[in-house]
């Protein structure tokens, strides 16, 4: 989703070493950001591997209870499900706490920040009114709580660019069968094919993102997504 950052934020852009007012006392007594999120808690390959590894499931098993699929600008993307009866995240326990907090998806770690993708990399903004509990300042890198943060941000930029290239490519296809074939190949490469819990994620990512599917995906989609220009694009 492309939006004017100034309309949805405090107007400031943050780097990982900046202080931002997001401290929320460990969300004590609150789980509003885990409610009524629809299909917006996206799952990327990094999240997928962590969930598979920690829960001991493959992607097909995750889809049975925890992960759904939706279409985003023509591309099929995974997301965490909401519980039907309560419209809360499937991983929210009876005490109102996240049962996968240590390996929760990047979107959850990010909130209430949003990402901005530019040629020089990933930066962040604070979403206006997204979390009423955010009172104390904390360094962005500490808030994100992600190992190898510099490499992770590189992956995020590559993943974002690859998705945008895929969506552009899909928009040029003529038939629904062609689009379905490309989407299924995309899901197979980055999600359905199991990740190896004993390997470094970024090694696997580099291998998968360099694959040339034998069907309809063109070289421009999967070759070096970092070449794609990313100007004033954001994730919220």
Task: Report how far residue 170's alpha carbon sits from residue 221's, in angstroms, rounded to the nearest whole number.
Answer: 10
pLDDT surpassing 50 at residue 119: yes
- Give pLDDT tens digits for 197-236: 999 999 999 999 987 443 445 544 544 444 433 344 456 5
Looking at residue 9, the DSSP 8-state letter turns out to be: B
Q: What is the mean pLDDT of residues 168-183?
A: 90
- Domain parsing of the chain, residue ranges: 1-236
- Give pLDDT tens digits for 177-193: 889 988 999 999 999 99
- Give pLDDT tens digits for 60-94: 999 999 999 999 999 999 999 999 888 999 998 98
Q: What is the mean pLDDT of residues 16-44?
A: 81
H or E element: which one contains 161? Answer: helix 149-171
Question: What's the whole-model pTM score?
Answer: 0.85
Task: Write the Ramachandran bin of 25: left for phi over 0, alpha for psi from -120 to 50, otherwise beta.
Answer: left
pLDDT surpassing 60 at residue 112: yes
């Amino acid at each position: 989703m492309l939006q004017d950052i100034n309309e949805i934020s405090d107007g400031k852009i943050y780097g990982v070493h900046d202080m931002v007012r997001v401290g929320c006392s460990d969300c004590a007594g609150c789980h509003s950001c885990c409610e009524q999120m629809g299909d917006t808690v996206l799952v990327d390959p990094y999240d997928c591997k962590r969930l598979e590894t920690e829960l001991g499931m493959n992607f097909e098993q995750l889809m049975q209870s925890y992960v759904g699929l939706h279409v985003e600008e023509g591309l099929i993307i995974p997301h965490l499900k909401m519980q039907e009866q309560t419209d809360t995240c499937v991983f929210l326990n009876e005490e109102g706490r996240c049962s996968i907090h240590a390996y929760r998806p990047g979107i959850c770690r990010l909130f209430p920040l949003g990402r901005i993708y530019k040629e020089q990399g990933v930066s962040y903004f604070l979403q206006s009114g997204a979390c009423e509990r955010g009172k104390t300042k904390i360094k962005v890198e500490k808030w994100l709580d992600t190992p190898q943060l510099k490499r992770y941000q590189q992956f995020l930029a590559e993943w974002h660019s690859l998705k945008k290239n895929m969506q552009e490519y899909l928009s040029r296809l003529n038939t629904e069968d062609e689009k379905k074939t490309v989407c299924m190949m995309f899901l197979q490469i980055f999600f359905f094919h199991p990740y190896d819990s004993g390997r470094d994620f970024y090694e696997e990512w580099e291998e998968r993102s360099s694959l040339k599917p034998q069907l309809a995906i063109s070289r421009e989609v999967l070759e070096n997504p970092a070449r794609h220009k990313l100007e004033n694009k954001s994730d919220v």
